Structure 1
Amino acid sequence: MPTSLGRPIDPTLHPIETGGYRIATPAIQAFSDLVNRCLRYRITGALTYGPSRIGKTRAIEYLRLLLAQTQPKITTYHAQAEHKPRHAEGPFLANLLEAVGYPDPVGGTNPAKRMRLINKIKEACTRNGSGTVVLFCDEAQRFDENEYEWLRDVHDHLDRLQIRLFTFLVGQQELLAVKMAMQHARKTQIVARLMVEELAFFGIRNVRDVATCLDGYDQTNFPRASDWSFTRFYLPQAVSGGYRLAHDATLLWSAFESLHHRHGLPGALEIPMESFTRAVEIVLKDSTLRDAPDYRPDAALWNVAVRSCGYIQSRQAISAELMTSPA
């Protein structure tokens, strides 16, 4: 990318190049509303579920960044549930210790691990000046009943220390079936502590969603204190000439819609965030050398970007997953 035109930083450091950015979507906004509602009404557990590759992990990363900006006293963690043939308390606690940043998560007895976990969270709360902790548990459908009980024990222990832990279980569709099974088995303590609210996560579902997400590129500046939007960084002359990515919402939606139907994919069009951002990045990067005051990416470029973004592979994987999921 040319370094002329007064760009404020080396292009290799831009978040689009490093992947270090997250754009809000309507689904992420719904997730954010859920988190804020739980915090406001002291609801200590909720679950968010949806197909794989739809953008749930990106949503967690976005919400952690947002909470750090808007409510910096809240301590947040992101734990990744692992696929394992045997469910035991030691590996479960080690996984949480890793999430809270303990340097040796594996060593020690289970009671020692539990105390290290509690103390590490307590230290973070003291440092941040608040007794509120938000824990996102990704791929939570992998937990078994014992692991939910151990997680509830952590809640209870922290509660005795006047630390309120809010847990957001994030996973695939079977996570909702886990909650229903818990209710059927009358595991009310687990449901009441960890699974009160629920949210079906979704991809980008219509042209309005596309416009909202593209507007994020037009409105997000980097460096933050500058007036260099993501779009302007790659197309400074076109932006000066009035161009905005959001103007192309219909072009981008139509490109995905055409590809979806041409491959005979089942169901309504729902764009995973990973595919969407990759398509936008392709257009920005490929447009840079063509930048001019009257330049506008054409439909052919958007079509190429959509064909190259991995959408077909992602949707085929989701379809296979839905076919093999238990009813």
Structure 2
Amino acid sequence: MSTNNIRPVSLELHPIETGNYRIATPAIQEFYELIIRCLRYRTSGALIYGPSRIGKTRSIEYLRLLLAEKYPKITTYHVQAEHKPRHAEGPFFSSLLEAVGYPEPDTGSNPTKRIRLNNKIKEACSRAGSGTVIFFIDEAQRHSENEYEWLRDVHDHLDRQQIKLFTFLVGQEDLFSTKVNLQCAGKTQIVARFMVEEFAFYGIRNVQDVATCLAGYDNSTFPRNSDWTFTRFFIARGVDSGYRLVDDAQVLWDAFSSLHNKSGLPGKLEIPMESFTRTVEIVLKDSQALDEVKYRPAKSLWVQAVRNSGYVQARIAVGRTLSEFNHVA
């Protein structure tokens, strides 16, 4: 790699500084494989559930970018299910209109909102040259039975227009309970449409997962297609001397494991993506001023970064072990 260490752009513009980047994890890869499987077999819906702050929302953003690159003709939307004191049709369709980019999602009657939504989706499919649409509905555990029925109406209307809608319900562990409750109530029309497949989203569970994620920083570049990997942008001399973040996978895993055990947290170690990325960002930023030939971050730096990552606070906030939600789909 080049020894010219003059950065091509300002440090303030780097994705690590702006937070505008996504790193793939084994869970995200499994999520992606689920999507491709649903598309291939025309399975119209799946639910993806797990504890809060584990990386589900970030996975949606990553997967939309990946799908845009791999399957540019597929139209995808990120729908945010909102907490509402009552589940009314108008706010539901407003949230869908906002997701598809309608400029005034709160205006108009309910029938008008339905028409606008369908027309907006049809326009997007026409531009893309495909009749395939994906809804990622985030925090889907907030939806009621009525909202799933309204979503079914959207699905049926688009189907009559030769547009195939695939829906991925993403939410907390309550979402799995929602499926069970609907099954017990005999609401097969909802379950069979939107909840056919299941996937329990998970965090970083072992040193191999850590290595996979660290390799993402070592291989991602900014500017794109340059030789300025994320790691090199902050540790140029160290990287040019052979260092890679993946070299410290065991060090990082051990630091999290030690903190987990010393804090008396229950269950096996499973690192939420938010805590992991914050740790790596701290190490990269602090290493910038320390960078030199043959530099590599000290073990103490990793340990301190893990302590400042918010991991313990996140686990206490969840209030139970992450692993207990890893149901087998």
TM range (shorter): over 0.9
Q: Whole-Å Cα distance in 1 between the matches of residues 61 and 108 of structure 2? A: 30
Q: Whole-Å Cα distance in 2 between the matches of residues 182 and 8 of structure 1? A: 55
Aligned to 1:195: 195
Q: Whole-Å Cα distance in 2 between the matches of residues 171 and 225 of structure 1? A: 34
User: How far does residue 5 in structure 1 lie from its aligned partner after superposition?
Assistant: 2.1
Q: Whole-Å Cα distance in 2 between the matches of residues 225 and 284 of structure 1? A: 21
- Answering whether residue 291 of structure 2 is matched by residue 291 of structure 1, we say yes
Aligned to 1:141: 141
Instruction: Please say if residues 74 and 133 of structure 2, whose CA atoms lie closer than 8 Å, have aligned partners that are also in contact.
Output: yes
User: How far does residue 174 in structure 1 lie from its aligned partner after superposition?
Assistant: 1.0
Aligned to 1:154: 154
Instruction: Please say if residues 75 and 133 of structure 2, whose CA atoms lie closer than 8 Å, have aligned partners that are also in contact.
Output: yes
User: How far does residue 321 in structure 1 lie from its aligned partner after superposition?
Assistant: 9.5
Instruction: Please say if residues 315 and 321 of structure 2, whose CA atoms lie closer than 8 Å, have aligned partners that are also in contact.
Output: no
Q: Whole-Å Cα distance in 1 between the matches of residues 169 and 185 of structure 2? A: 19
Paired AA for residue 79 in structure 2: A
Paired AA for residue 283 in structure 1: V
Instruction: Within 5 Å, give how 1:207-286 maps onto structure 2.
Output: 207-286=207-286
Aligned to 1:109: 109
Aligned to 1:168: 168
Aligned to 1:118: 118
Q: Whole-Å Cα distance in 1 between the matches of residues 130 and 115 of structure 2? A: 20
User: How far does residue 205 in structure 1 lie from its aligned partner after superposition?
Assistant: 0.4
Instruction: Within 5 Å, give how 1:54-69 maps onto structure 2.
Output: 54-69=54-69
Any idea what SS the aligned residue of 1:221 has? coil
Instruction: Please say if residues 267 and 321 of structure 2, whose CA atoms lie closer than 8 Å, have aligned partners that are also in contact.
Output: no
Instruction: Please say if residues 76 and 135 of structure 2, whose CA atoms lie closer than 8 Å, have aligned partners that are also in contact.
Output: yes
Q: Whole-Å Cα distance in 2 between the matches of residues 26 and 259 of structure 1? A: 23
For residues 276-317 of structure 1, what are the alpha-carbon distances to aligned partners after superposition, in whole Å with 9 as ceiling and x for unaligned?
A: 000000000000111112111111000110011111111111
Q: TM-score, normalised by structure 2?
A: 0.95
Q: Whole-Å Cα distance in 2 between the matches of residues 313 and 73 of structure 1? A: 42
Aligned to 1:13: 13
Aligned to 1:312: 312
Any idea what SS the aligned residue of 1:291 has? coil
Aligned to 1:44: 44
Instruction: Please say if residues 218 and 229 of structure 2, whose CA atoms lie closer than 8 Å, have aligned partners that are also in contact.
Output: yes
The list of structure 1 runs, each at least 4 consecutive aligned residues, that deviate by more than 4 angstroms after superposition, is none
Q: Whole-Å Cα distance in 2 between the matches of residues 227 and 156 of structure 1? A: 48
Question: Which segments of 5 or more consecutive residues in structure 1 lack a partner in the other structure?
Answer: none
Q: Whole-Å Cα distance in 1 between the matches of residues 28 and 5 of structure 2? A: 34
Q: Whole-Å Cα distance in 1 between the matches of residues 314 and 5 of structure 2? A: 37
User: How far does residue 182 in structure 1 lie from its aligned partner after superposition?
Assistant: 1.1
Question: Which segments of 5 or more consecutive residues in structure 2 lack a partner in the other structure?
Answer: none
Paired AA for residue 184 in structure 1: C
Any idea what SS the aligned residue of 1:77 has? strand
For residues 128-187 of structure 1, what are the alpha-carbon distances to aligned partners after superposition, in whole Å with 9 as ceiling and x for unaligned?
A: 111100100000000000000000110000000000000000001111111111111111
Q: Whole-Å Cα distance in 2 between the matches of residues 221 and 41 of structure 1? A: 35
Aligned to 1:76: 76
Any idea what SS the aligned residue of 2:289 has? helix
Paired AA for residue 40 in structure 2: R
Paired AA for residue 177 in structure 1: S
Any idea what SS the aligned residue of 1:290 has? coil
Q: Whole-Å Cα distance in 2 between the matches of residues 320 and 35 of structure 1? A: 29
CA RMSD of aligned residues (A): 1.3
Any idea what SS the aligned residue of 1:79 has? strand
Any idea what SS the aligned residue of 1:130 has? coil
- Same amino acid, percent of matched pairs: 69
For residues 14-52 of structure 1, what are the alpha-carbon distances to aligned partners after superposition, in whole Å with 9 as ceiling and x for unaligned?
A: 100111100000000010000111011111100000000
Q: Whole-Å Cα distance in 2 between the matches of residues 163 and 222 of structure 1? A: 37
- Answering whether residue 89 of structure 2 is matched by residue 89 of structure 1, we say yes
Q: Whole-Å Cα distance in 2 between the matches of residues 210 and 30 of structure 1? A: 16
Paired AA for residue 259 in structure 1: L
Q: Give the 3 Å change call, closer, same or farther, for CA 95–321 of structure 1 in structure 2.
A: farther
Q: Whole-Å Cα distance in 2 between the matches of residues 199 and 75 of structure 1? A: 22
Q: Whole-Å Cα distance in 2 between the matches of residues 56 and 309 of structure 1? A: 18
Q: Whole-Å Cα distance in 2 between the matches of residues 126 and 285 of structure 1? A: 45
Q: Whole-Å Cα distance in 1 between the matches of residues 157 and 227 of structure 2? A: 47
Any idea what SS the aligned residue of 1:135 has? strand
Any idea what SS the aligned residue of 2:319 has? helix
User: How far does residue 189 in structure 1 lie from its aligned partner after superposition?
Assistant: 1.1
Q: Whole-Å Cα distance in 2 between the matches of residues 252 and 201 of structure 1? A: 22
User: How far does residue 191 in structure 1 lie from its aligned partner after superposition?
Assistant: 0.9
